[in-house]
A and B are shown apart, each in its own frame.
Chain A
Amino acid sequence: MSSVLFFLAAIGVITGATGVVVLRNPFYSVLALVIHLVSLAVLFLLLRAEFVAAVQVVVYAGAVMVLYVFVVAYVGGESDSIGERLRSRGAVGSGLRLGGAILGGAVCVELLIALLGTGLEAINGYGAGYSPGPQAYGTPAYIGKLLLTRFLLAFEVASFLLLIAAVGGVVLARRRGGLEDEDERDLLTPLEMLRPRGTGTMAEGVGRRSP
């Protein structure tokens, strides 16, 4: 049963990844990526990383893919896909594509040598000893324990990282007229926010804040 599932998922992973590269319409590429990520989640499940599998579906196949679709819609549809543009470049484009393929093939061969020709020390270690239970390796409880003990610092810093990512996103998005320019906007101070509207303040007088 596991091996059947493994081969099904593995076929999905490889087909999806190939589809991302080969398909010309970026929307289809994104959909192929969804197939890839969901199949990857099944592989995680087979590795008994249940929490990671769930996160993979929720965050990547769900949220990140929505973002990708928006980005594709924002950057423009199928008419001028990157593949087309590269193709139209002639010699440079085909050279780049050939170079990319050769480089990708070389990395693939190297990784296969590494993965197949090795002792895989971790599998001989505790990775193989699996005992089901609420505290077992890869369960949410186990990950929670790790986050609270060994990776406490990474956990807290990750929260800060997300804060900074939000700041960065807002800074960059403001440029495209998504948000108003800061100097024109003149933020309200907390005091001003508390004040009732239409009481004849200077801000209202110059039309900065409409009653």
Chain B
Amino acid sequence: MIPLATAHLKGPHIDFAGLSPLIALLGGSVLVLIVGLLGSRWIRAQAVPSLSLGALGAALGLTIWQWNAQKSIVSGALRIDDLALVLNLVLIAGAACTVLLAWRSLAAREAAHGEFHALLLSSVAGMSLLAAAQNTVALFVGLELLSIPLYVLCATELKREHSLESGLKYLIVGSVGSATLLYGLAMIYGATGTTDFAGIASALSNGSLATDPLTLTGVALCVAGLCFKSSIAPFHQWTPDVYEGAPTPVTAFMAVTTKVAAFGVFLRFFDVALIDTQVSWGPALAVLATITILVGNVGALGQSSLKRMLAYSSVAQAGYMLAGVVVSTQLGVRATVFYLAAYLFMNMAAFAVIVARERQTDLGDSIGALAGLGRERPLLAWPMTISMLALAGIPATAGFMGKFYLIDAAVSGGYTWLGVAIVVGSMISLGYYLPVIAAMWMREAPAATSPNDASVLAPTPGPLPALAGGSSELDEDGGPLSGSQPEVLVVAVLAGAATIFFGVIPQPLFDLVHGAGSGLGLF
């Protein structure tokens, strides 16, 4: 009768400590969803974002608690090592910035706050899973957990056509990318007979399997699938449209964190599982990286929409980071992770300024919205300036250190021409980063940016006005958002300051990424 008494098999050991950041994110997502259903409007608009910040904070604390761990957990599905933990930190920081940027956004209100933040948190959980996955099944589940919420998040400004178009485009292209990757993973499984990264590596290391057509086709399909996800040319065509159409906080999130997750997979899957086929995919990826750098930088020239320009710029940056993957050395891994962290700060600063200007003016994200910003609101102009300079790779910014590191890795890994491509790309990129700075500091502000402009944003730090009572509730419901937005300003200033800080004193970040490179067993 009682079937449980006859149990004779045991499940795998579950290391809850190692899983705890993931559990915090998933649990936070469920909690936020439920609170968003139950509460009054005030609770929905204020408590839900606070709760998701809390969940991110818990995940951050638990990640730091796990520091220096070196273990495979849940029967080898995940690898908790320095690489996974550092990427986790970057992901959580990016998500926290997004929560702040989206606090009073139209997108969060239209999709309902509970849903918006639940989708956001589960997407972060998927990325965290992806950064740690070391079997192909966990990898694919993580990828889907990353992608599906993002498809919906892109379309959350439900009444704006471009937002819906962006969601639909991302859904279709993303599904093609996922399917391609899945096909590739299936072929690699077919060739090696195992789904574990370590098993794949050992199967490829003996015999002629590393040059087997089935393996190589699988690898090629995996490269194509991941290139779709991380918008590497020639699989990048969706990027400008999707980035431009999506709500700006979501664009910021996508631009930063999907790159982190995709490069986490590149580093772990290609540099651990497929390392013996490096002679095949290394040159291919190097060529892709060069094409990406050129296409991204040339495409960004002459764009009048800031989000579109940053989309092309993110394509170019993905090309730079790919250089660190191509060489598959410890130095390359470190350089890529360093650049990912720098990329977080640079992009968040830029997107925070765009979010602020979108709410203050009715010019949207066109470059004209920044005109005269330097004199009017230096607190917004400086982060944007720093971000543009850093993205272009001007010394004394984190972007310069990151590029320097990447070029160092490329040259010492035997890909000198890739280093040259990075330098040439950076030179081209000045052609579209500098006009933004010029618009802020040299152009006059347009006569009337917005009727509310006079009352907007004297950057006085203070309590959130919504806490004072119902008045801001009314404010939120009508018209374009125009109240003061200290949280957006905080993101802009902090990200800008971090960009400068790690450009001048990069040592803490170097120390942080040092362990990430040593854990993978590369030279």
Q: Do A and B form a real pair? A: yes
Q: Could you list which residues of chain A lie within 8 angstroms of chain B, going by C-beta atoms? A: 110-111, 113-115, 117-122, 125-127, 145, 148-154, 157-158, 160-161, 163-165, 167-168, 170-172, 174-175, 182-183, 186-187, 189-190
Q: Are A164 and B148 in contact (CB under 8 A)?
A: yes
Q: Are B112 and A171 in contact (CB under 8 A)?
A: yes
The majority secondary structure among interface residues of chain A is helix
Q: Which residues of A contact B190 (CB under 8 A)?
A: 120-122
The majority secondary structure among interface residues of chain B is helix
List the 4 shortest-distance A-B pairs measured between CB atoms, nearest first.
Answer: A114-B217, A168-B152, A118-B214, A175-B158
In whole angstroms, how far apart are the Cα atoms of A197 and B111 in the complex?
Answer: 30
Given A126-B193, A149-B11; A171-B148 close (CB under 8 Å) = no
Q: Are A171 and B193 in contact (CB under 8 A)?
A: no
B394 contacts chain A at the CB level, 8 A cutoff: no
**Contact pick for A110, options B33, B167, B193, B217, CB 8 Å:** B217
Q: Are B119 and A168 in contact (CB under 8 A)?
A: yes
Q: Which residues of A contact B149 (CB under 8 A)?
A: 164, 168
B212 contacts chain A at the CB level, 8 A cutoff: yes
Q: Are A160 and B26 in contact (CB under 8 A)?
A: yes
Nearest chain A residue, comparing its CB with the CB of B140: A154
Q: Are B144 and A161 in contact (CB under 8 A)?
A: yes
Nearest chain B residue, comparing its CB with the CB of A188: B38
Size of the chain B interface, CB-CB below 8 angstroms: 59
Q: Could you list which residues of chain B lie within 8 angstroms of chain A, going by C-beta atoms? A: 9, 11-12, 14, 26, 29-30, 33, 37-38, 40-41, 74-78, 109, 111-112, 115, 118-119, 122, 125, 129, 135, 137-138, 141-142, 144-145, 148-149, 151-152, 155-156, 158-159, 167, 187, 189-193, 203, 208-209, 212-218, 477
**Contact pick for A153, options B40, B74, B151, B208, CB 8 Å:** B74
Within the complex, what minimum Cβ distance (angstroms) separates A195 from chain B? 16
Q: Are A157 and B141 in contact (CB under 8 A)?
A: yes
Within the complex, what minimum Cβ distance (angstroms) separates B148 from chain A? 6
Given A125-B193, A149-B11, A157-B145; A167-B214 close (CB under 8 Å) = no
Within the complex, what minimum Cβ distance (angstroms) separates A114 from chain B? 4
In whole angstroms, how far apart are the Cα atoms of A7 and B7 in the complex?
Answer: 44
Nearest chain A residue, comparing its CB with the CB of B109: A183
Q: Which residues of A contact B203 (CB under 8 A)?
A: 121
In whole angstroms, how far apart are the Cα atoms of A164 and B147 in the complex?
Answer: 11
**Contact pick for A154, options B137, B187, B209, CB 8 Å:** B137
Q: Which residues of B contact A154 (CB under 8 A)?
A: 77, 137-138, 141
Q: Are A121 and B213 in contact (CB under 8 A)?
A: no
Q: Are B209 and A175 in contact (CB under 8 A)?
A: no
Given A149-B75, A168-B152; A114-B187 close (CB under 8 Å) = yes
Within the complex, what minimum Cβ distance (angstroms) separates B359 from chain A? 19
Within the complex, what minimum Cβ distance (angstroms) separates B141 from chain A? 5
Within the complex, what minimum Cβ distance (angstroms) separates A136 from chain B? 17
Given A158-B141, A161-B148; A171-B77 close (CB under 8 Å) = no
In whole angstroms, how far apart are the Cα atoms of A81 and B33 in the complex?
Answer: 39
In whole angstroms, how far apart are the Cα atoms of A161 and B77 in the complex?
Answer: 17
Within the complex, what minimum Cβ distance (angstroms) separates A190 from chain B? 7
Within the complex, what minimum Cβ distance (angstroms) separates A165 from chain B? 6
Q: Are B159 and A175 in contact (CB under 8 A)?
A: yes
In whole angstroms, how far apart are the Cα atoms of A125 and B194 in the complex?
Answer: 11
Q: Are B213 and A117 in contact (CB under 8 A)?
A: yes
26 of the cross-chain contacts (CB-CB < 8 Å) are A114-B216, A117-B213, A118-B212, A119-B209, A121-B191, A121-B192, A149-B75, A150-B77, A151-B138, A152-B74, A153-B141, A157-B145, A160-B145, A164-B29, A164-B122, A168-B119, A168-B152, A171-B111, A171-B152, A172-B158, A175-B159, A183-B109, A186-B41, A189-B38, A189-B40, A190-B38
Q: Are B77 and A167 in contact (CB under 8 A)?
A: no
In whole angstroms, how far apart are the Cα atoms of A153 and B37 in the complex?
Answer: 28
**Contact pick for A115, options B144, B155, B214, CB 8 Å:** B214
**Contact pick for B145, options A115, A161, A170, CB 8 Å:** A161
Q: Are B129 and A157 in contact (CB under 8 A)?
A: yes
Within the complex, what minimum Cβ distance (angstroms) separates B36 from chain A? 9
In whole angstroms, how far apart are the Cα atoms of A179 and B142 in the complex?
Answer: 30
